[in-house]
A and B are shown apart, each in its own frame.
Chain A
Amino acid sequence: MTVRVKFFAILRDRTGASEVSKELSEGSTVADLWRELQKDYPKLAVPGIRLLYAVNQNYVGTDYCLREHDEVVFLPPVSGG
């Protein structure tokens, strides 16, 4: 299956990409996707950063099972206001 990943803020800076498509095996979770992305972007794991995870614009946990065409975002610490 293919999912779409968007990068924002510090993660966009570290990957140099704002959006990528990623091929995953069926049953892959958010955590699996993160592991795969780290192979593509070794600089992705910012030391000490805490992330939140969103699929199709809703917050999810790392064990969330992804589906075809899901839009996944790894959210670095937010700082609006």
Chain B
Amino acid sequence: MFRVTNEAIDLSELVSYVTDPEAGAIVPFIGTTRNNNEGRKVIALDYEAYPEMAEKELARIGEEAKKKWPICKMAIVHRLGAVQIGEASVIIVVSSAHRDAAFAASRFAIEEIKKTVPIWKKEVFEGGEVWIGTQSGQPLTALK
């Protein structure tokens, strides 16, 4: 299950989805909205996506994880829109026969999400708002 949603993410639904009689471990990762960033007092995060491509990229991450580790099932759901402090912005749940594979695949997935999935967050803080993001693309000057 790889999707983006405007609704609150239901952890138990994802756990049910990856539950498998062959699995001996289920690892959930919940990314939550923190109340501070780089010295700023954060009020909320506002997420936006290129939804069709984001879901495609999430599925690609799942396929790659399956090639790298013997996992049973994986679910990744990323929230869009305004996410209040303490709420989940992303949940990854992985099941595997033995725990090492699920832990490794979960770690891989969150790192990849931050690099390749077309989702952007705008940080709304006391006194303003700013788009967050760092990545290694080509500088704009390369296109001039």
Interface residues, chain A, CB within 8 Å of chain B?
A: 6, 8-10, 13, 31, 34-35, 45-52, 54, 57, 59, 62, 73, 75-81
Contacts and interface: CB of A to CB of B under 8 A. Distances in A.
Nearest to B55: A57
Contacts, number: 99
Given A57-B56, A80-B78, A8 B135 contact: no
B133 A77 contact: yes
Place the interface of chain B in its size category: 35 or more
Contacts of A34: 143
B48 interface: yes
A10 B53 CA distance: 18
Interface of B: 31, 47-50, 52-54, 56, 78, 89-90, 110, 113-122, 131-140, 142-144
A45 B140 contact: yes
Contacts of A46: 140
A80 B52 CA distance: 15
A80 B119 contact: yes
B140 A75 contact: no
Contacts of B78: 80
B122 A80 contact: no
Contacts of B143: 31, 34-35, 51, 62
Contact of A52 (B56, B131, B137): B137
